[in-house]
């Protein structure tokens, strides 16, 4: 997701997740982790349909939910 300013939020505690490596997002508060490729796949499908990138996604367990 080069050049993408996507906000990724942990739905468990509401914290913004940070990129911990080239393949994971991690919540600094509750330590919930999600694989980056899940977010990238969701963004690719969203971009194909809406012609723009996801601006904000929430992580619910292993599900990526588009907020904006």
The 10s digit of each residue's pLDDT in 27-56 is: 999 999 999 999 999 999 999 999 999 999
pLDDT at res. 25: 93
Mean pLDDT of 2-8: 71
Average pLDDT taken over every residue of the chain: 89
For residues 51 and 44, what is the distance between their CA atoms, to the nearest angstrom?
A: 10
pLDDT at res. 1: 42
pLDDT at res. 4: 53
C-alpha distances in angstroms, 63 versus 3, 9, 10, 28, 58?
Answer: 23, 12, 11, 19, 8
For residues 38 and 24, what is the distance between their CA atoms, to the nearest angstrom?
A: 10
């Amino acid at each position: 997701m080069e050049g993408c300013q996507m906000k990724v939020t942990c739905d468990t505690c509401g914290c913004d997740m940070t990129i911990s490596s080239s393949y994971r997002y991690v919540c600094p508060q509750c330590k919930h982790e999600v694989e980056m490729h899940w977010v990238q796949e969701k963004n690719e499908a969203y971009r194909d349909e809406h012609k723009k990138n996801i601006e904000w996604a929430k992580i619910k367990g292993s599900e990526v939910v588009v907020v904006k």
